[in-house]
Structure 1
Amino acid sequence: MKRILLFISMVLSAFASGCASREGSAVGGALGGAAVGVGAYEYSAHRQMQQVEDDYRAGRINRKEYEIRKNQIEKGSIFQR
């Protein structure tokens, strides 16, 4: 989660510095939109990982199923490794 916030803050800094011109504004808008999309996707992956861990601790899934689901989430995520 900390990595996501760091990434978003870096992108927002780049966005703010690029607002001085039209080109910078367009690039900044594109970067800002991408950051929001990535942030939402990563937050979803984080919540899925928490749900898998909760299911495993509660005994709703076994170790094998836990590992399979965990690997699936990690493959689709940038920061969940």
Structure 2
Amino acid sequence: MKRMLIIISMVFTAFASGCASREGSAVGGALGGAALGVGGYEYSAHRQMQQVENDYKAGRINKREYEIRKNQIEKGSLFQR
């Protein structure tokens, strides 16, 4: 969660500094949109990881299944490592 706040603050800083010209606004808007998309994807990966951990702790999946699912989530995520 701390990383997400840092990323969001960086995006807003880049967006605000790019508002001085039309080109800067376009680049800032593109960066902001991309960062929000990545942020949403990473939040989804975080929730999936929590669900896998909860399933394992509750005994709904075994250790092997837990490791497989955890590995799949980590491969598709930037921050879930």
**TM-score normalised by length of structure 2:** 0.97
Which amino acid is the alignment partner of residue 59 of structure 1? G
- The count of residues paired between Structure 1 and Structure 2 equals 81
Match in the other structure for 2:74: 74
Moved over 3 A (4+): none
Match in the other structure for 2:48: 48
Which amino acid is the alignment partner of residue 27 of structure 1? V
Identity fraction in percent: 85
Aligned pairs for 1:6-25 (under 5 A) are: 6-25=6-25
Quick one: distance in 2 between partners of 1:49 and 1:21?
Answer: 41
Which amino acid is the alignment partner of residue 31 of structure 2? L
| Per-residue CA distance 1:28-78 (angstroms, 9 max, x = gap) | 000000011000000000000000000000000000100000000000000
- Greater relative contact order, per chain length (Cα 8 Å cut-off, separation 6+): 1
**TM-score normalised by length of structure 1:** 0.97
Q: 5+ residue gaps in structure 2?
A: none
Deviation at 1:20, TM superposition (A): 0.8
Corresponding position: 1:35 with 2:35: yes
Deviation at 1:9, TM superposition (A): 1.1
Quick one: distance in 2 between partners of 1:67 and 1:5?
Answer: 28
